[in-house]
């Protein structure tokens, strides 16, 4: 299992990667428009690449097949070893995915809300299939059975795609996704920092440190 940082802020990404706990980054147009409004996308992604290690997902924003292919080829050229082209799921997206697979471009099929969608993307050669936990819950469904069914099927059929669970809104979303079989959970910095914090941990550390100070006496 692995954790990715869901952000386009190079400073946040660099700070989090200093923990040694993370192995990739995901971005999307909404995140970039919020965190880096007006910025040049290529420059933002180059800074993200510099601040991190592992795969960095960059999402397509065009809609026709040929436009998406041209955009994908351009992104891939920024760093062929690390750039993962994020392909929005649709019939057009599947055609683009299939063509990118033949070019050996890493892909992350995004905006998946159901098992059948993830299965189609895996069959078409996706490197990653991204299930959106929070948005699945918005529809009134529990995301865990979707993750579990997808993982069972990928394992049973020997499909290479790895499950990324995103749209993480609460700390428990991370725990539940990993327990349900996600290969990767990608979460925003505020959620990742909540994984560190626990009041009982702080109390215990303070208790131990105070006991040691009392033992050692004043200096």
Domain 2-216: CATH superfamily, name plus number = Aldolase class I (3.20.20.70)
Please determine, for residue 165, whether its predicted confidence score (pLDDT) is greater than 60: yes
Q: Which two tokens stand for residue 86?
A: 């994020």
Q: Return the exposure string of 34-53: e unless at least 16 CB atoms fall within 10 Å of the residue's CB, then b.
A: eebeeeebeebbebbbebbe
Note whether 61 and 71 are within 8 A (CB): yes
Band of pLDDT at residue 37, cut at 50, 70 and 90: confident
User: What is the rounded average pLDDT of the residues 16-26?
Assistant: 98
Please determine, for residue 219, whether its predicted confidence score (pLDDT) is greater than 60: no
Q: What is the value of pTM for the model shown?
A: 0.94
11 is catalytic: no
Handedness of CA 65, 66, 69, 70 (dihedral sign): negative
User: What is the rounded average pLDDT of the residues 127-144?
Assistant: 97
The residue annotated as part of the active site, out of 86, 106, 194, 214, is: 86
Task: Give the chain's mean pLDDT.
Answer: 96
Nearest to 67 by CA among 44, 41, 46, 93: 93
pLDDT tens digits for 45-89? 999 999 999 999 999 999 999 999 999 999 999 999 999 999 999
Could you state, in order of their start, the residue ranges of all structural domains in the chain?
Answer: 2-216
């Amino acid at each position: 299992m692995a954790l990715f940082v869901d952000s386009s802020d190079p400073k946040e990404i660099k700070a989090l990667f200093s923990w040694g706990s993370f192995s990739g980054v995901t971005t999307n147009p909404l995140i970039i428009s919020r965190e880096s409004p007006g910025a040049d996308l290529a420059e933002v992604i180059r800074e993200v690449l510099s601040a991190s290690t592992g795969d960095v997902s960059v999402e397509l924003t065009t809609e026709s097949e040929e436009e998406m292919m041209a955009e994908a080829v351009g992104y891939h050229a920024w760093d062929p070893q690390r750039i993962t082209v994020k392909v929005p799921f649709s019939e057009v997206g599947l055609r683009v995915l299939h063509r990118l697979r033949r070019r050996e471009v890493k892909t992350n099929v995004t905006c998946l809300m159901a098992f059948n969608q993830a299965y189609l993307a895996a069959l078409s050669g996706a490197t990653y299939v991204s299930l959106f936990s929070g948005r699945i819950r918005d529809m009134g469904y529990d995301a865990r059975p979707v993750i579990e069914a997808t993982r069972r099927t990928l394992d049973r059929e020997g499909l290479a795609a790895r499950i990324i669970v995103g749209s993480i809104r609460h700390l428990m979303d991370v725990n539940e996704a990993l327990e349900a079989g996600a290969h990767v959970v990608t979460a925003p910095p505020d959620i990742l920092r909540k994984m560190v914090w626990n009041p009982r941990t702080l109390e215990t550390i303070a208790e131990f440190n105070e006991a040691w100070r009392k033992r050692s006496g004043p200096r």
